[in-house]
């Protein structure tokens, strides 16, 4: 198991902070749909973010769970709406503003869900945990979805973020997995000099670039420097945080990222790695299905993919076993749902079955403790589980730790830093100002 103290400390900070969703959508739904009846069936509206096209393994798991539940409960109909990540966030904001949340939906932990909880939009789920999941969740995961002693989301995933790489491309240019950041930069230079895109990045979504910055901050200043700046025991103008921004600028200037990265979504950028047009891709372990179990990805490509931990920085305070990551998404039940009891029953069933099936069918690390001794797992999955067990620290994504207004500044400045519109000192100064104004 990973270092519980480190995760707990990270999450305890994050749970005090607020992240309000950004964006908007024109889609709305009728208030009466939550309690609609399909003949004699109770209809439960379930909105999630695993489209078949981009998240085949997760989509299939959820779809199979729904089919089985409906078979076992012929009086229930699960009505799904499926959107991509960013579109999902947009629509949830619109639905919450008009008190029309689906009966069941997906939420992120900590500050992200706080405005929903404060607005009494999410139902407490401790009764489900007590009756169905006693000691079954990995330590620290449900705590990320708790506020004021109550739990408002049941976590599905636990993620860490490695750097995936194409072994064939590395071999072609006699490159080895880097242990230090200087070695990593030599890899980037070699690839760029040979006309190969070193790294793919979809920074239109901005949190993607934030993970690169977070790792550099960690490796240079240690695991607490960024969190301390956010919780105000430190400053965002800490020299290590300025230096991390300078390293981002250096990486951009040397052609480290795919052309047009600031205009690419994460899904678009991922295609460059999947199509072998980029050598590296930093992303969380929710991507594991594409490299292990997805039936839509050729075994030939899967055999080419390896991963490595973000390398250490010479002279830095960071540990190579310190990861950016944390609990992934969880499920909420709407407090205003007219089929709340039925929705809770399905959520309990889905989480339990997800824990069983995500291991063997998708290579997704579940938030529940699962006995894998009798399950045949891909070696990459086993290696990731071992890394998780040896993790010295798990730092929750920066924008999730921040309040809504500061998170917006952070994400905007990430895009400006990567795009060359903001110098490193301006990047840190504006975030320090935003944080100070909230004190």
**What residues form DSSP beta bridges with 278?**
197
Q: Rounded to two decimals, what is the model's pTM?
A: 0.73
Residues forming CATH 3.40.190.10 domain(s) in the chain: 42-158+326-384, 163-283+402-437
Cβ atoms within 10 Å, residue 253: 9
Crossing angle, helix 56-72 and helix 340-357, to 10 degrees? 130
Predicted confidence at residue 35, as pLDDT, reads 41
Average pLDDT, the chain: 88
Predicted confidence at residue 371, as pLDDT, reads 64
Predicted confidence at residue 26, as pLDDT, reads 34
DSSP β-ladder status, 278-282 and 197-199: parallel
CA pair distance 184, 178, nearest whole angstrom: 5
The C-alpha angle 109, 147, 149, rounded to 5 degrees, equals 135
May I ask the CATH class of domain 42-158+326-384?
alpha beta
DSSP result, 109-126: SGGGGHHHHHTT-BPP-H
Domain 163-283+402-437 has CATH 3.40.190.170: no
Predicted confidence at residue 230, as pLDDT, reads 92
Q: Which positions of the chain have pLDDT values less than 70?
A: 1-39, 139-140, 362, 370-374
228-268 pLDDT, tens digit each: 999 899 999 999 999 999 999 999 999 999 999 999 999 99
């Amino acid at each position: 198991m990973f270092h519980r103290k480190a995760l707990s400390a990270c999450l305890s900070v994050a749970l005090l902070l607020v992240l309000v969703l950004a964006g908007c959508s024109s889609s709305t739904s009728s208030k009466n749909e939550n309690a609609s009846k399909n003949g004699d069936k109770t209809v439960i509206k379930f909105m999630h973010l695993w489209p078949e096209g981009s998240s085949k393994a997760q989509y299939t798991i959820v779809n199979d769970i729904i089919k089985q539940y409906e078979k076992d409960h012929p009086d229930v109909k699960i009505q799904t709406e499926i959107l991509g990540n960013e579109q999902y966030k947009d629509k949830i904001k619109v639905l919450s503003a008009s008190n029309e949340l689906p009966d069941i939906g997906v939420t992120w932990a900590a500050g992200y869900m706080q405005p929903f909880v404060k607005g009494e939009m999410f139902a407490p789920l401790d009764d489900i945990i007590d009756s169905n999941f006693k000691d079954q969740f990995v330590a620290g995961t449900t705590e990320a979805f708790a506020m004021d002693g109550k739990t408002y989301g049941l976590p599905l995933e636990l993620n860490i973020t490695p750097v995936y790489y194409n072994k064939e491309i590395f071999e072609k240019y006699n490159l080895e997995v880097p242990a230090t950041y200087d070695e990593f930069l030599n890899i980037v230079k070699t690839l760029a000099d040979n006309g190969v895109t070193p790294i793919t990045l979809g920074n239109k979504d901005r949190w993607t670039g934030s993970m690169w910055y977070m790792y550099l901050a960690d490796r240079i200043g240690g695991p607490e420097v960024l969190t301390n700046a956010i919780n105000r025991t430190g400053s965002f103008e800490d020299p290590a945080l300025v230096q991390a921004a300078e390293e981002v600028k250096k990486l951009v200037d040397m052609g480290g990222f795919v052309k047009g990265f600031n205009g690419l979504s994460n899904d678009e950028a991922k295609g460059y790695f999947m199509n072998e047009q980029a050598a590296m891709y930093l992303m969380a372990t929710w991507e594991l299905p594409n490299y292990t179990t997805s039936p839509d990805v050729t075994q030939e490509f899967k055999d080419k993919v390896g991963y490595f931990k973000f390398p250490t920085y010479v002279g830095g305070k960071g540990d190579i076993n310190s990861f950016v990551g944390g609990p992934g998404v969880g499920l909420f039940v709407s407090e205003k749902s007219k089929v709340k009891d039925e929705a809770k029953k399905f959520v309990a069933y889905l989480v339990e079955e997800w824990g069983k099936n995500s291991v063997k069918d998708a290579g997704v690390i579940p938030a529940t403790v699962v006995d894998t001794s009798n399950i045949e797992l891909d070696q990459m999955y086993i290696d990731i589980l071992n890394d998780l067990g040896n993790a010295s620290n798990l730092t929750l994504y920066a924008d999730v730790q921040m309040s809504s207004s500061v998170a917006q500044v952070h994400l905007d400045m990430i895009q400006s830093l990567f795009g060359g519109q903001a110098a490193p000192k301006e990047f840190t100064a504006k975030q320090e100002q935003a944080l100070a104004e909230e004190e």
